Structure 1
């Protein structure tokens, strides 16, 4: 029961909306790591602003400036690679559980000299990435039906998160066992080397004493 509560808390913290902004130069690339269960939808909303030295503030960028978004799965395979406008959203669904790399950088390297961009990024994972108002209007659902749909999605996402936590635990246990085995074999190798070295030193000292006629 305690394990389930911990998983639910972890899921709630994990699946909430992640909002932030960061600064990049014209050639810089920023990457973020997101731990995502398998078969989970992720939606990212972003907006790019450029620093204006005249007003000393960040303003909307000029037309033609966009962002290249590249998503890689835990096996380093490209899930999404596409150039978007200066403001928009990207969507993808994870096919394997684990750490996904989300990288963003400008689609140009010469649009201004020595300037800086501010990128506002909102990453929504799981059922938070679903637009339930749109679903309600499309399927003509009542408030009760919509709430049931939300609860079913939440239960499904919690199940996925539990499976992912079990996968992480198995992977960690496997890594620990492999490390312990390597440490054990290294200790055995060290012991053997010490025994061989001690035996050789005793033989060498015995030969030395016999040559000097001390024994």
Structure 2
């Protein structure tokens, strides 16, 4: 399985104002054992995710392009088969974890491609959290000014950053607790092993001394 990196790293507050990044790649059509090409993203629990995929070609051109979205445990969020053009998929993350967006492009059975190598060009855009919300609809519904919409958006993005930092702090605490617990167990095992070896050594010396005395060697 091939993976392409799409993750956007937040560096400073400037990154808060960047939109979603689009990834473009070409996927050749293969037989039924086609290898999927995947993009991995990380989301927080309950976060809204909008996946927009735009592909060249059309249905019936000898290629069957499929998209499958799964979480880290392999549970399927969405699946679209024989897609072409632009499709948009929205879902909410069930947990704080990574998810995979996988594409497979198979040759259509019985289609005569005259020895040509068929392929589809795919443009993928992933939006999560505040970026995934329809701010135009919110602006119209609440009759907000453009500056108010931007402030709302920045406020939500800052909240997401704070939530992410809190999650990382808790994760670091769990890892530290696990590390300290492991160190204590290793230390206790070492002490117990040392005491047992000392006990076995004392017993062997005592046994051999009694044995030699019984044989009148000592």
Question: Please, what TM-score do these two structures have when normalized by structure 1?
Answer: 0.64
Paired with 1:10 and 1:94, the residues of 2 have a C-alpha distance of 25
Question: Which residue of 2 is the match for residue 88 of structure 1?
Answer: 87
Alignment of 1:183-202 (within 5 A): 183-202=186-205
Change (3 A) 1:145 1:9: closer
Question: Which residue of 1 is the match for residue 124 of structure 2?
Answer: 121
1:75-132 per-residue CA deviation (whole Å, 9 max, x = no partner) reads x3736132252442322222332x2231414275765899776654332222222343
Question: Which residue of 2 is the match for residue 102 of structure 1?
Answer: 100
Q: Which has the higher contact order (CA 8 A, sep 6+)?
A: 1
| Counterpart selection for 1:43 from 37, 47, 50 | 50
State the Cα RMSD in Å: 4.1
**May I ask how many residue pairs the two structures share in their alignment?**
195
Structure 1 unaligned runs (5+)? Answer: 1-6, 50-59
Query: Which has the larger helix fraction?
Result: 1
What SS does structure 1 have at the residue aligned with 2:98?
A: strand
Change (3 A) 1:190 1:22: farther
1:141-166 per-residue CA deviation (whole Å, 9 max, x = no partner) reads 32222223223322332332233223
Contact 1:68 1:107 in 2 (8 A): no
Kindly indicate whether residue 34 of structure 2 is the aligned counterpart of residue 27 of structure 1: yes
CA apart distance, 1:41: 1.7
| Counterpart selection for 2:171 from 168, 190, 199 | 168
Paired with 1:32 and 1:202, the residues of 2 have a C-alpha distance of 66
What SS does structure 2 have at the residue aligned with 1:167?
A: helix
Paired with 2:211 and 2:26, the residues of 1 have a C-alpha distance of 72
Contact 1:38 1:95 in 2 (8 A): yes
Paired with 1:159 and 1:120, the residues of 2 have a C-alpha distance of 30
Alignment of 1:141-180 (within 5 A): 141-180=144-183
Contact 1:11 1:158 in 2 (8 A): no
Paired with 1:141 and 1:188, the residues of 2 have a C-alpha distance of 68
Question: Please, what TM-score do these two structures have when normalized by structure 2?
Answer: 0.63
Paired with 2:122 and 2:217, the residues of 1 have a C-alpha distance of 83
